[in-house]
Structure 1
Amino acid sequence: MYTINTPEGTRDRLFAECRERRQVQRELTALFQRRGYAEVSTPEVEFYDLFLQSGNPMPQESMLKIIDRSGKIMVMRPDCTTPIARVAATKLKTLPLPQRLFYDQTVFRSGQEHKGGSSEIAQCGVELIGAAGWRADLEMVALAVDALGACGVQDYHVELGHVGFFRDLASRVDMPAAVIEQMRLLIEGKNFAALNDLLEPYAGQGACKALRRLSRLFGGAEVLDEAEELAGGSAVLVYLRQLYNALCKAGYGDHIRFDLGMVHQIDYYTGVVFRGYVEGAGDAVLSGGRYDNLVEAFGRAAPATGFAVDVDAVAGCLPEATAARLETLIHYGTDDLGRALAAVDAAAPGTVELSPQGEVEETMALAKEKGAKAVLVLENGTERRVEL
């Protein structure tokens, strides 16, 4: 017998998974709106050239491509930030900055074959466009923490880094650009052994010790102390400490940590970067940072920062909730539909249903099959309840 499966990287979601996904989306979008962010929506299909023009670091093999009728290459939206940057630079160019935008969309990515990753990822996120400096970064990190808290997960934190710290250290070592990129990948992947081997020829240079330790510089605020000792002082570290102190005074300290080895997509991000983690998820469920050059690629110079939340990853970490159980099936006469619908609407969701059966006995049998506790019979203006 032939079985029709879903394409690789996609899956069906049933019942509880759908409820949990909607809960996360509902809580996130409500929070974003309370903070003054307005919703935008972009097409699921974009021109491939859009991402080439933006300098987006996403490898082309991770994009799902389509050829349109004119022969142009299109892609299923692999990222929400780049299309929103296009919108901010074109459709919204006459509006004053800063602009606070949020989205609730799906992105599509072609994962490695047989690696088990998802090709369609539900994301809720925000973009703060046209705001630079410390207050904008502070607002964004605080919103990231609040976003995870609003979802209802039990244990969560946000890790902060800054791409400027790696750039500063790398500039102090006489190393070819290709080797610097290789080093960045090793630090990002926390590949300690390979990093040590790569840095061995540069051991006599001043910043080598700090670069060797960079992938291990994660944890609490003590990480900043160690980094300052290794780097011999850094304006970036002063900035991160200022950010941390302000977050602590606002009550966010318990949810803030650091990872100075967070050097992902170094040409895309320009400042503070951060990731969010929740108990029960094997990887980050939130990712973001400052990207001051992206909007300018579409003709409007504007600094920007933002983040995206992986909705399904967060939903999978929610405490297990008891599903609604069918309590009552309603059997109704042809003139009693209005009363029957009113009874369904007045009950807790999922606890009362209409019966499609024409005879009371058939409704009784269906109620027993579905595990209902009672049948409510509404006929000819009368009402009676039969317990099962």
Structure 2
Amino acid sequence: MAYTINTPEGTRDRLFAECRERRQVQSALTGLFQRRGYAEVSTPEVEFYDLFLQSGNPLPQERMLKIIDRSGKIMVMRPDCTTPIARVAATKLKALPLPQRLYYDQTVFRSGQEHKGGSSEIAQCGVELIGSAGRKADLEMVALAVDALRSCGLERFHIELGHAGFFRDLAGRVDMPPQVIERMRSLIEGKNFAALNDLLEPYAGQGACRALRRLSRLFGGAEVLDEAEALAGGSAVLVYLRQLYGELCQAGYGDYLRFDLGLVHQIDYYTGVVFRGYVEGAGDAVLSGGRYDKLVEAFGRSAPATGFAVDVDAVADCLPAREPARLEGLIHFGPGALALALAAVDSRAPGTWELSPCDTLEETLALAREKGAREILVLEDGTERRVEV
């Protein structure tokens, strides 16, 4: 009986075109980040579990892949890039002036629900703007998010804007236990309308309850802000979002922007503007980020911050399929002709020519027919000639 070796659940092999498309996305993103003044940092794939406890444990522990080191300490495969970079900014970069513009090209590891088909290893390219608060930093980050998806070659996409403070403001107006607030956050995040209505039923008489019922439905164009104001009354958060939207529209980004005031994020270190990017053809967000002004402080340095991450494979899956390079020919070379043969391969388009490993021309001809090549370049005895297959 044949023995099949599978990859662990949530992982997969990537072959040929998938690798090429992934590199294409990574190259486009990192090139853009460098042009905008961001410098690359890299953090370990394994971190102490305590690091994420210290940061407020933004991810549920069941989503983290854990291992035990020789001393018995619990470690996790990096489930998030922002928290380790916040640690670096607060320690190893503490002597450098703010703001600091950092980018990364790394993999995060998360344990999905069993048999749900999600990925446990997620290639991310992202940026962190450390030490910059306020409107200009938020404008830079949202504009960079749009440009990031454009740089990859995507056309039919949009960025949805929200604000973590809007949910907190509404939740603060309701006399509700913290655990119920977290349950409500999860239902709003998942747009689970029926369960949200049931949860809020005991609080129906309180002022903000109507707005909380509608929160997961407040998504769309700028008219969403009007409805939110009617539901919640005056809100500094909504005024701020209008200001950002106006400036971004003036800069030519308006066609890519929408609103989702139900963006409450299960990663609860966000403190201000939050946003996600969606592409036609992708089942979930391909970009996610926002402002997190308290995270770096958890590691000993007071520094407001904002950033986002792009799911590289999700973006690559949305790109138009490209035909792979077709093998045009083989190079058959004799003794002493290796340098000439390598120069001949390097001078041609990648993937269109290969060196022949065969000792005789007859063997090279047979190999060329098998691989579908059309001709052979023969380099031997100081001469060069072509043989059609």
TM-score with structure 1 setting the length: 0.98
**1:260 paired to 2:261:** yes
Q: Are the counterparts in 1 of residues 289 and 308 from structure 2 also a CA contact under 8 Å?
A: yes
1:181-260 pair list within 5 angstroms: 181-260=182-261
Q: Are the counterparts in 2 of residues 163 and 266 from structure 1 also a CA contact under 8 Å?
A: no
1:1-388 pair list within 5 angstroms: 1-265=2-266, 267-388=268-389
CA distance in 2, matches of 1:259, 1:380: 71
CA distance in 1, matches of 2:229, 2:259: 14
TM-score with structure 2 setting the length: 0.98
CA distance in 2, matches of 1:212, 1:276: 24
Identify which range, 50-59 or 232-241, moves more after superposition. Answer: 50-59
Q: Are the counterparts in 2 of residues 128 and 306 from structure 1 also a CA contact under 8 Å?
A: yes
The Cα shift of 1:180 comes to 2.0
CA-to-aligned-CA distance 1:52-81 (integer Å, 9 cap, x gap): 111132111111111111111111111111
The Cα shift of 1:205 comes to 2.2
- SS, match of residue 318 in structure 2: coil
Q: Are the counterparts in 2 of residues 79 and 107 from structure 1 also a CA contact under 8 Å?
A: yes
The Cα shift of 1:130 comes to 0.3
Q: Are the counterparts in 1 of residues 186 and 266 from structure 2 also a CA contact under 8 Å?
A: no
CA distance in 2, matches of 1:276, 1:371: 42
The Cα shift of 1:204 comes to 2.5
- SS, match of residue 210 in structure 1: helix
Letter in 2 for 1:118: S
Letter in 2 for 1:293: K
Q: Mind listing any 5+ residue stretches in structure 2 that lack a counterpart?
A: none
Identify which range, 70-79 or 143-152, moves more after superposition. Answer: 70-79
Q: Mind listing any 5+ residue stretches in structure 1 that lack a counterpart?
A: none
CA distance in 2, matches of 1:177, 1:217: 23
- SS, match of residue 375 in structure 1: strand
CA distance in 2, matches of 1:243, 1:220: 14
Identify which range, 342-351 or 185-194, moves more after superposition. Answer: 185-194
The Cα shift of 1:266 comes to 6.7
Change (3 A) 1:255 1:185: same
Q: Are the counterparts in 2 of residues 173 and 202 from structure 1 also a CA contact under 8 Å?
A: yes
Identify which range, 175-184 or 374-383, moves more after superposition. Answer: 175-184
The Cα shift of 1:377 comes to 0.7
- SS, match of residue 316 in structure 1: helix
Letter in 2 for 1:113: E
CA distance in 1, matches of 2:217, 2:335: 72
CA-to-aligned-CA distance 1:204-232 (integer Å, 9 cap, x gap): 22222211111100011111111111111
CA-to-aligned-CA distance 1:252-304 (integer Å, 9 cap, x gap): 00100100011113741101111011111100011101111111111101001
